[in-house]
Chain A
Amino acid sequence: METLDYLLAALTPFNLLLAIGGVIAGTVIGALPGLTATMAVAVLVPFTFTMEPAAALIVLGAIYTGAIYGGAYAAILLNTPGTPSAIATTFDGYPMARRGDGDLALTVACLASVIGGLVGAGFLWLLAPPMATVALKFGPVEYFWLGLFGLTLIASLGEGSTIKGLIGGCVGLLLSMIGVAEVGGDIRFVGDFKPLLGGIDVIAALIGLYCIPVLIDLVATPVAHLDSGGRISSFRLAEAIHIVKNAKFNLARSSVIGTVVGILPGAGGSVASLISYSEAKRASKRRAFFGKGEPDGVLATESANNATVGGGFIPTLVLGIPGTPPDAIILGALMVQGIRTGPTLFTQQAPIVYTFIFGLLLATILMLPIGLLIGRFAFRSLVAIPKSVLVPSVALLTILGSYAVHNNIDEVQQMVILGVLAWCVGRLGFSASPIVLGLILGAIAERGFVQGNLIGNARGSVMAEFFARPISLGIIFFIVLGLLWPLWSNYQARKAGEAHD
């Protein structure tokens, strides 16, 4: 049977080595704030030119999935997402770390990432062509509604007040508009200040808004950053497995959400983990604990973001359209190798594709032991480092990370300035996530809005364009649900309270 052949091809020692190496490299790079999965893949692409296409794909895929997983480390231990897809992991990951459950959080993140990655790769294996057609049905208008959906989720997220969350989101939106407008070409909010021409970089904002306030507060007191609770850290594997077993539905739903969002070109892990987090919170009986260190939150986000890896490959391989930025690089690498993507890839070049898919599955499985080991090492070292060395080191990482994105000093300065401002408004009760999410989603939403407008105008009716498409209506339904739900559950809670009187 051919499938067996491909499986065996994926298991050759060389490919195995590539998978292991890729996962390790990816995890380490993803863990460093500022180094994204995109960067990790971009750096290592030149080395793949001398390899066979299948092998090249395996190592790039392994790096990609390792990097997405690695982003959880900094998110949990430093409250700084290592990659944008780990933003939602900070919501519960960091509180868990602060109360001494950091090692549990890391293990849960590892398990979730592996499961999510397997689901995504599974979809890639079995359902790629049909899912690709689904991706194509998402037009500009759908992206607008999706972006809007993400923005409304911001309001329901925060432990802080909804108003502050919304204000933060608006700030993020305004920040996203700085620079040259994609559609129309206006230069907005720049004035004569040239460094802002390129806009606010998402990664620089990410690092600054999350990490700098942590550093600022770290130096103020002699209290240790993270407490290992006096107990020797272990994997806490049994505990973690128990949590996973009880959260089967959460995992399944989050992984599917991650895969589907990954299929949509332009929406990435950050959107996926945001949506799955919000859904997990909505569906959970323990929703009051979300945001305070609830493992189910970490499960939801980490499985969703790793599922986007497999999902993202679907449009990449089937349509030749990259699902996420690392996919764009991988696509370029394939072109250089002379591989033509498209529907024929699965039929004419089946050996390459299926060997790769099995390699990806393999790399994902390998992430479990590798991830746990690296995680334990990371946790132990971080807890052991005295604060006075930790602060300069992390600060160095922030500088390097924000610089390395585009080799641009302006972005380092953006990072610091935003960070200081973030601390100031943090004292007032504003948190970083709505701002960053506004920044990311603002671009998506505005693009979709303007394009939808243009198309609607050309077709005769803007309103019909925005409101008469089936998928759009589906998303609008969720938006309305999302806005009304808190009111509904408040009402329910109050009724229950009254019943007790």
Chain B
Amino acid sequence: MKQISKIALATLAAVATSMAAAADYPSKTVNYVIPFGPGGESDISARLQEPVFKKLTGQSLAIQYKPGAGGAAGWSKLNDMTADGYTVMGTNLPHIVLQPMAKDVGYQTDDVTTVFWFHYTPDALLVPSGSPVKNLKDFIAAAKQAPGATTLSGSGTNSANHLAQQQFDKLAGIKTTYIPFKGTGASNAALLGNQVSGSWGYSTVQIKLGDQVRCLGVAMEQRHPQLPNCPTFKEQGFDLVGGAYRGVAVPKSTPANIQMKLASDLAKVNADPEFIRKMEAGGFAMLNVGPKEMPQFMADIKARYGALAKEMGIVKK
């Protein structure tokens, strides 16, 4: 009998301490590592989370950058980091699904433990406002006339922009040429400078560049509240919904209750009306995928991207 009660007591103590630990969490600054350079969407959305997180938990989020290999430099090191919940990392889709599929980047999709996906930036097809192309129909017509001659800039290879271009080309039966640039900034510069005919960007880009660009379509179910003049692809007859998703991940061995607490804190941040307002003003589309929905969400995403990747020929031999 004594044995069992000792065990029970020990278990109770363990549970109590870990709950206490979770309840205490966060009790100091959390390092938020962004696996990209500063100024991009991952950075901006993280910076918007910062003050709300601080208000909510009393602790700061210290944002650090660890760019390299399109994010792989960070994700491949994630599980080597301290797993006490005080080091978290931004994660991105489609990156973490596509990169390991295409080649050996130092991690597998399942190695990355995302606790919460908090927004996505819907794909958007943009042209400079001075372009003769006024709407999607014009665009498709022009592309059909001269296959391959339409150049579209985007950020990175095998990224969300690239995927969007491939998907839409198939849906519309056209052939365009994708020109990868280093980051959204460079892609935008090329767009504005008429170096390319158009750009696969996001709703955030349309908002940022304002009147200088024209949105031909956005990949959402319904029009974005901040972009009433931007028709969705769906309403124009093309089933293209999606974009780049962003979330927060922790090293695999982080205690489960800390992961739950972090997820719930992030969910609370995501529900803050001021935060929502600022995010939407920037062109982001809110999303709430927490630990409960995570397995199903990831399975769906992997299936979807997997099929796409095979078609695009990205999957490594």
Give the B-binding residues of A (Cβ under 8 A). Answer: 38, 42, 45-46, 49, 135-140, 179-180, 182-185, 187, 194, 197-199, 265-266, 315, 319-322, 325, 327-329, 331-333, 335-336, 338, 340-344, 406-408, 447, 451, 454-455, 457-460
The CA of A325 and the CA of B65, in the complex, are separated in Å by 12
Q: List 26 A-B contacts (CB under 8 A).
A: A46-B50, A46-B63, A49-B50, A136-B194, A138-B193, A139-B195, A140-B195, A182-B182, A187-B105, A197-B68, A197-B73, A198-B72, A198-B73, A199-B68, A320-B208, A322-B185, A328-B40, A328-B185, A335-B48, A336-B47, A341-B208, A342-B212, A343-B211, A451-B181, A458-B149, A459-B149
Q: Are B195 and A198 in contact (CB under 8 A)?
A: no
Residues of B contacting A49 with CB < 8 Å?
Answer: 50-51
Partner of B148, one of A135, A184, A458: A458
Q: Are B177 and A342 in contact (CB under 8 A)?
A: no
| Binary A-proximity of B172-204 (CB < 8 A = 1, otherwise 0) | 000001011110011011101111100000000
The CA of A140 and the CA of B190, in the complex, are separated in Å by 8
Of B150-158, B234-242, B251-259, the one contacting chain A is B150-158
Residues of B contacting A457 with CB < 8 Å?
Answer: 148, 177
Minimum CB–CB distance for A450 against chain B, Å: 9
Partner of B39, one of A180, A182, A183, A331: A331
Residues of A contacting B282 with CB < 8 Å?
Answer: 335
Q: A38-B38, A335-B282 are in contact. Are A185 and B179 (CB under 8 A)?
A: no
The CA of A437 and the CA of B14, in the complex, are separated in Å by 56
Q: A139-B190, A139-B193 are in contact. Are A338 and B37 (CB under 8 A)?
A: no
In the complex, how many residue pairs between chain A and chain B have their CB atoms under 8 Å apart?
162
Sorted nearest first, the 6 A-B pairs with minimum C-beta distance are A328-B39, A198-B68, A136-B193, A198-B73, A139-B195, A458-B177
Q: A332-B38, A342-B212 are in contact. Are A321 and B60 (CB under 8 A)?
A: no
Let me know if B76 is at the binding interface, CB within 8 A. Answer: yes
Q: Are B180 and A42 in contact (CB under 8 A)?
A: no
Let me know if B210 is at the binding interface, CB within 8 A. Answer: yes
Let me know if B20 is at the binding interface, CB within 8 A. Answer: no
Residues of B contacting A329 with CB < 8 Å?
Answer: 38-39, 43
Residues of B contacting A199 with CB < 8 Å?
Answer: 68-69
Minimum CB–CB distance for A254 against chain B, Å: 25
Give the A-binding residues of B (Cβ under 8 A). Answer: 33, 37-40, 43-44, 47-48, 50-51, 60, 63-70, 72-73, 76-77, 102-106, 148-151, 156-158, 177, 179-182, 185-186, 188-190, 192-196, 207-212, 278, 281-282
The CA of A176 and the CA of B105, in the complex, are separated in Å by 18
Residues of B contacting A45 with CB < 8 Å?
Answer: 47
**Apart from A182-B156, A455-B151, what 20 extra A-B contacts exist at CB < 8 Å?**
A42-B38, A135-B189, A136-B193, A139-B190, A179-B69, A187-B103, A199-B69, A319-B209, A321-B188, A321-B189, A321-B192, A325-B38, A329-B39, A338-B278, A342-B208, A342-B209, A406-B65, A407-B33, A447-B181, A458-B151
Q: Are A184 and B38 in contact (CB under 8 A)?
A: no
Residues of B contacting A136 with CB < 8 Å?
Answer: 189, 192-194
Partner of A137, one of B181, B193, B278: B193
The CA of A459 and the CA of B150, in the complex, are separated in Å by 8
Residues of A contacting B186 with CB < 8 Å?
Answer: 265-266
Q: Are B179 and A451 in contact (CB under 8 A)?
A: yes
Partner of B278, one of A138, A336, A460: A336
The CA of A338 and the CA of B226, in the complex, are separated in Å by 14
Residues of B contacting A454 with CB < 8 Å?
Answer: 151, 177, 179
Q: Are A408 and B210 in contact (CB under 8 A)?
A: no
The CA of A342 and the CA of B211, in the complex, are separated in Å by 9
Interface centre among B40, B179, B278 (most CB of A within 10 A): B179
Minimum CB–CB distance for A291 against chain B, Å: 33
Q: Are A335 and B68 in contact (CB under 8 A)?
A: no
Residues of A contacting B190 with CB < 8 Å?
Answer: 139-140
Minimum CB–CB distance for B305 against chain A, Å: 16
Smallest CB gap from B39: residue in A: A328
Residues of B contacting A342 with CB < 8 Å?
Answer: 208-212
Minimum CB–CB distance for B93 against chain A, Å: 17
Smallest CB gap from B31: residue in A: A407
Q: A139-B190, A184-B157 are in contact. Are A455 and B196 (CB under 8 A)?
A: yes
Smallest CB gap from B204: residue in A: A335
The CA of A194 and the CA of B194, in the complex, are separated in Å by 39
Q: A136-B189, A185-B157 are in contact. Are A332 and B47 (CB under 8 A)?
A: yes
Residues of A contacting B66 with CB < 8 Å?
Answer: 406-408
Residues of B contacting A322 with CB < 8 Å?
Answer: 39, 185
Minimum CB–CB distance for A447 against chain B, Å: 6
Interface centre among B69, B72, B106 (most CB of A within 10 A): B69
Minimum CB–CB distance for B216 against chain A, Å: 19
Partner of B106, one of A138, A197, A266, A335: A197
Q: Are A185 and B68 in contact (CB under 8 A)?
A: no
Q: Are A320 and B188 in contact (CB under 8 A)?
A: yes
Minimum CB–CB distance for B76 against chain A, Å: 7
The CA of A152 and the CA of B43, in the complex, are separated in Å by 36
Q: Are B43 and A185 in contact (CB under 8 A)?
A: no
Q: Are A198 and B69 in contact (CB under 8 A)?
A: yes
The CA of A42 and the CA of B36, in the complex, are separated in Å by 13
Q: A42-B65, A455-B196 are in contact. Are A197 and B72 (CB under 8 A)?
A: yes
Smallest CB gap from B158: residue in A: A185
The CA of A451 and the CA of B38, in the complex, are separated in Å by 23
The CA of A185 and the CA of B282, in the complex, are separated in Å by 30
Minimum CB–CB distance for A326 against chain B, Å: 8
Q: A46-B60, A197-B106, A455-B195 are in contact. Are A321 and B69 (CB under 8 A)?
A: no
Smallest CB gap from A39: residue in B: B65
The CA of A49 and the CA of B157, in the complex, are separated in Å by 34
Residues of A contacting B208 with CB < 8 Å?
Answer: 320, 335, 340-342
Residues of B contacting A458 with CB < 8 Å?
Answer: 148-151, 177, 179
Residues of B contacting A137 with CB < 8 Å?
Answer: 193
Minimum CB–CB distance for B314 against chain A, Å: 9
Q: Are A197 and B64 in contact (CB under 8 A)?
A: no
Residues of B contacting A320 with CB < 8 Å?
Answer: 188, 208-209
Residues of A contacting B195 with CB < 8 Å?
Answer: 139-140, 455
Residues of B contacting A408 with CB < 8 Å?
Answer: 66, 77
Minimum CB–CB distance for B39 against chain A, Å: 3
Residues of B contacting A343 with CB < 8 Å?
Answer: 211-212
Smallest CB gap from A407: residue in B: B64
Q: Are B38 and A321 in contact (CB under 8 A)?
A: no
